[in-house]
Structure 1
């Protein structure tokens, strides 16, 4: 999912819309996605969010108002956003961006289910990791 496959459409345009907090991505197959910054942030492919293996994902909360303050190119295959909360370690490959856009409805539903299972609200502040928790330096 997060790798780069030869059959994945590539972006022909990427536009940050700060007021509506979405990344508009136009792909070579003609599809255009409006991916909310919040969705990008809660599904960031970074170790800080995804952990280092299955079951180690860190549920993100309080990201509704997050902005993308910078979008840096990574070679010819990805972008690295810097979010207003300081998170900047996720590299979004073209196929991962396409996946986020294409699967938005399912991803939102999964996120809302995880929030409900954890008994937390989408707007709840993030709980700091414990000393025995994540140790990537982020």
Structure 2
């Protein structure tokens, strides 16, 4: 795989598929990805998910049914989705979206391993303490 730093391909098309819950991406280098909302939500680049350093990540669960209610452009380099669970602090840069698309099989297996290590079910609701900090209750 060539390094993405030099010239990250830019999306030529971004389509939000509400029914199938995937973000369809076409990039200028011809790559075509369908990234599930759940993957985006679980790997959101926000501090709320990633924490403030290695090992600080907050394991996200119960996101299989999550939707994207809006997708706002951020400059010419990223999009900021608002998820149906109220999470909206993740800024997804083009290279991060490309990474999610290109690496999604590995990311899913990493996620499943983290769930197993934590002894948590993928569909378990998030602990109330974590939900409280983002101020949305469903």
What TM-score do the two structures reach when normalised by structure 2?
0.90
Once the two structures are TM-superposed, the CA of residue 129 in structure 1 deviates from its matched residue by: 2.9
- 1:46 paired to 2:8: no
> For 1:3-14, what aligned pairs fall within 5 Å after superposition?
5-14=5-14
Once the two structures are TM-superposed, the CA of residue 5 in structure 1 deviates from its matched residue by: 3.6
The residue number in structure 2 matching 1:22 is: 22
> For 1:32-43, what aligned pairs fall within 5 Å after superposition?
32-43=32-43
> For 1:76-95, what aligned pairs fall within 5 Å after superposition?
76-95=76-95
Once the two structures are TM-superposed, the CA of residue 68 in structure 1 deviates from its matched residue by: 0.3
Q: Deviations over 1:7-49 (max 9, x none)?
A: 1111000000000000000000001100000000000000000
Whole-angstrom CA distance in 2 between matches of 1:16 and 1:6 = 28
Name stretches of at least 5 consecutive residues in structure 1 with no aligned partner: 131-136
The residue number in structure 2 matching 1:122 is: 122
- The list of structure 1 runs, each at least 4 consecutive aligned residues, that deviate by more than 6 angstroms after superposition, is none
Whole-angstrom CA distance in 1 between matches of 2:123 and 2:40 = 16
Whole-angstrom CA distance in 2 between matches of 1:6 and 1:27 = 15
Name stretches of at least 5 consecutive residues in structure 2 with no aligned partner: none
